[in-house]
Structure 1
Amino acid sequence: MGQRAKRKLRLISSVLAVLVFLSGCGQDFHKEGEQDDVISKDDSLTVVGVSQIGSESVWRTANTASIQNTFSKENGYFLIFDNARQKQENQIKALRSFISQQVDYIVFSPIVEDGWDTVLQEAKDAGIPVILMDRKVKVKDESLYTAWVGSDFAEEGQNAGRWLAGHLKEEGRAGEEINIVVLQGTNGSTSVIGRTEGFDSVAAQHDNWNILEQADADFTTAKGREEMKKMLHKYEDIDVVVSQNDDMTFGALEAIGEAGQSTGTDGGIILISFDATKSALEKVEQGIINVDIECNPEQGAYIEEVIRVLESGGQAEKEYFVSERVFTKKNVASVIGDRSY
């Protein structure tokens, strides 16, 4: 019996044991038909354990959909999916569960970069390849994970900075003092680190750009509104808001509107957003958001490509970057109709 067949036998045995235990406790633990899928599962299916950060944003929901659509039974996969609900301890628990079930591959989007050495060493010792999705980890030994698939966050930040420099030049404001506030996402996450470093590297080239504050708004609409409201009270003159995802941008727009101010192309506060979800791109088209830097959530196909390379006995690259664009009112109309997220 091959290693994969052994893993699948252990997986089925583990799941069946849990099913027996839970049924004895009277728990309604699976969706209709789920138990039959487990029992009748074909050994030819590749078992993939996925730990997702949570469902904190429209982008994350689209990212999850991409994974679930790619790793379907019809495509030859048996997917075990876990929602960590924004807690690293939940992700570590999920990864250890995947290891104990001897899945074929582990895929996860790390909430923060630090604190993964031990559990990733456990996965390596078990011979299970780990593919990072969206965000990265800081580990002493990079062989603890096989590959990473995601966005070039530093490039995204630089794109935002370059766009702002060009916009100010077009508006005849290149030499003005420009006051900037930044709504950041989850502290310590790869996207925050990259976007911040990228934007700051461009800002450092402009002595007249003043970054007044960078506030943690946790990638959520509610926190974006809260932190924007605080900064509007704290600073009399804000020229630019850099919001590191669309959900925080929506919260910022609520706070700015409540303060009696405007944004966008009508001469109000310059609003820079990230992600490029459909609802945000509609606001770009309306001139409410000046620019939206795309962060592509549809990463399932890229991850599957890594698995195909490994399945064929090949050597995967360490990094795979997804394709992304920058959207303004000039070019956004061509993509809104086809946007799936």
Structure 2
Amino acid sequence: MSRTAILAMAVLVTVAGCAKGEEPQTAAAPSSTAGQQVVKTPTGTAEGPACTLERFGGAAFDLKSATVGFSQSEKEANPFRIAETKSIKDEAAKVGITNLKVTNAQSQFSKQITDVEQLIAQGAKLLVIAPLNSDGWEPVLQQAAAKKVPIITVDRKINAKACTDYLTFIGSDFYEQGKRAADKMIEAVGGKGKVAILLGAPGNNVTTERTNGFKDRVKEKAPGITISFEQTGEFAREKGQQVTEQLIQSNPDINGIYAENDEMALGAVTALKGAGKQPGDIKIVSIDGTRSAVQAIVDGWLHSVIESNPRFGPLAFETAAKFLGGEGIAEKVIISDREYDQANAKDSLGEAY
């Protein structure tokens, strides 16, 4: 496949940080591009050279005819996962990939490892992985390295070395998401009161960074806020409801709830309704940007939502095309996320997923 033909597959989103010495940094996502991922403006100094095909090893191949594997981590009851998988499938079809194999680990990490090992055994030339956990990928990485199979991780990182163990990570700045959520919570409770955190699933960088970003920002800007309750809701609606029911019993005077994803936030809303609470009695800030959560802002139950855009298909395959065409790829491709609140939720509902 010629370089020209490969690059012709590129979509409208521009990959930042592809040249040596560049790394993504802050830029606002305009509302007109809310449905697609917008890469942050490159600036600053990256750690080490960008990853090229020559540096990674292996040979270029025809992406359209190659076997490409996508490993989904979680059950697709979560709108984020539904939108993520749809984006991968839709973009693969759009750019002419004829042999896309999709697996779903059903929220079981051992199954995800087996799924990816089987994709490698089936001859996958490129792997796009949405990791359930950040650790425990050594068996897969060793097998992929032996066959020089580039791995693009999306939405969660794996704890390994870019351009050696995997190609690159594409996703949000989760620490920044936590900080932005804290700003909205500080606004909602007037900088004082008791706040609870519904933690995401343990064992991945998303939970850790969203928690640290939130806590650091609260400590910096709002010493009048006390984080009085923390418990994992495992990124699940039912679990979020259960934990919030416990929260209401143990902390009846809670002022705000920071949910590290929308599903837990919506579970919290169900619990609050069951306890006879009214919209706005307890301020809720969450992260994701699902349509149901944005509707909950319109209805008054959520104060605001920080987006975490799941539409990775265009950017993942554009990144692969650039890599195969000889361009350097940064170890992190960080996207810019919007936010929803009372000022824009109603008009932006159609742009949520």
TM (normalized to structure 2)?
A: 0.78
Query: Once the 2 structures are TM-superposed, how far is the Cα of residue 250 of structure 1 from its aligned partner?
Result: 1.3
Determine the C-alpha separation between the residues in 2 that align with 1:83 and 1:43: 22
Match of 1:237 among 219, 231, 253: 253
Query: Once the 2 structures are TM-superposed, how far is the Cα of residue 313 of structure 1 from its aligned partner?
Result: 2.0
Say which structure, 1 or 2, has more relative contact order (CA 8 Å, 6+ apart): 2
Query: Aligned ranges for residues 168-317 of structure 1 at < 5 Å?
Result: 168=189, 173-174=190-191, 176=192, 178-205=193-220, 206-264=222-280, 268-317=281-330
The superposition leaves residues 182-208 of structure 1 with CA deviations (integer Å, 9 ceiling, x where unpaired) of: 111211222211110110111222322
**Letter of the structure 2 residue corresponding to residue 240 of structure 1:** G
Determine the C-alpha separation between the residues in 2 that align with 1:280 and 1:143: 39
Larger helix fraction of residues: 1
Percent identity of the aligned residues?
28
**Letter of the structure 1 residue corresponding to residue 158 of structure 2:** V
**Letter of the structure 2 residue corresponding to residue 106 of structure 1:** L
**Letter of the structure 1 residue corresponding to residue 267 of structure 2:** G
Structure 1 pair 208–153 and aligned structure 2 pair: CA distance change class (3 A): same
The superposition leaves residues 50-92 of structure 1 with CA deviations (integer Å, 9 ceiling, x where unpaired) of: 1101224111111111111111276234110000011111111
SS at the partner of 2:164? Answer: helix
Structure 1 pair 134–333 and aligned structure 2 pair: CA distance change class (3 A): same
**Letter of the structure 2 residue corresponding to residue 228 of structure 1:** T
**Does residue 1:67 correspond to 2:83, yes or no?**
no
Match of 1:46 among 39, 62, 66: 66
Match of 1:81 among 96, 102, 117: 102
1:51 and 1:81 in contact (8 A); partners too: yes
Determine the C-alpha separation between the residues in 1 that align with 2:223 and 2:103: 46
SS at the partner of 1:181? Answer: strand
**Letter of the structure 2 residue corresponding to residue 160 of structure 1:** A
User: Which residue number corresponds to residue 19 of structure 1?
Assistant: none
SS at the partner of 1:113? Answer: coil
Query: Once the 2 structures are TM-superposed, how far is the Cα of residue 44 of structure 1 from its aligned partner?
Result: 5.1
Query: Once the 2 structures are TM-superposed, how far is the Cα of residue 149 of structure 1 from its aligned partner?
Result: 0.8
2:152 and 2:167 in contact (8 A); partners too: yes
SS at the partner of 2:258? Answer: strand
Query: Aligned ranges for residues 328-339 of structure 1 at < 5 Å?
Result: 328-339=341-352
Determine the C-alpha separation between the residues in 2 that align with 1:140 and 1:313: 20
Determine the C-alpha separation between the residues in 1 that align with 2:70 and 2:117: 12
Query: Once the 2 structures are TM-superposed, how far is the Cα of residue 140 of structure 1 from its aligned partner?
Result: 6.1
The superposition leaves residues 302-335 of structure 1 with CA deviations (integer Å, 9 ceiling, x where unpaired) of: 1011111122122212111223111111122332
Query: Once the 2 structures are TM-superposed, how far is the Cα of residue 247 of structure 1 from its aligned partner?
Result: 1.1
SS at the partner of 2:329? Answer: coil
**Letter of the structure 1 residue corresponding to residue 288 of structure 2:** D
Unmatched runs of 5 consecutive residues or more in structure 1: 1-41
User: Which residue number corresponds to residue 57 of structure 1?
Assistant: 78
Unmatched runs of 5 consecutive residues or more in structure 2: 1-61
2:185 and 2:258 in contact (8 A); partners too: no
Structure 1 pair 271–208 and aligned structure 2 pair: CA distance change class (3 A): same
Match of 2:338 among 308, 319, 325: 325
**Letter of the structure 1 residue corresponding to residue 206 of structure 2:** S
**Letter of the structure 1 residue corresponding to residue 116 of structure 2:** L
SS at the partner of 2:207? Answer: helix
1:302 and 1:322 in contact (8 A); partners too: no
1:215 and 1:227 in contact (8 A); partners too: yes
SS at the partner of 1:204? Answer: helix
Structure 1 pair 236–196 and aligned structure 2 pair: CA distance change class (3 A): same
- Kindly report the root-mean-square deviation, in angstroms, between the aligned alpha carbons of the 2 structures: 1.8
The superposition leaves residues 86-120 of structure 1 with CA deviations (integer Å, 9 ceiling, x where unpaired) of: 11111111111121122110111111111112321
User: Which residue number corresponds to residue 115 of structure 1?
Assistant: 136
Match of 1:127 among 148, 153, 168: 148
2:188 and 2:303 in contact (8 A); partners too: no
Structure 1 pair 309–228 and aligned structure 2 pair: CA distance change class (3 A): same
SS at the partner of 1:247? Answer: helix
Determine the C-alpha separation between the residues in 1 that align with 2:286 and 2:63: 45
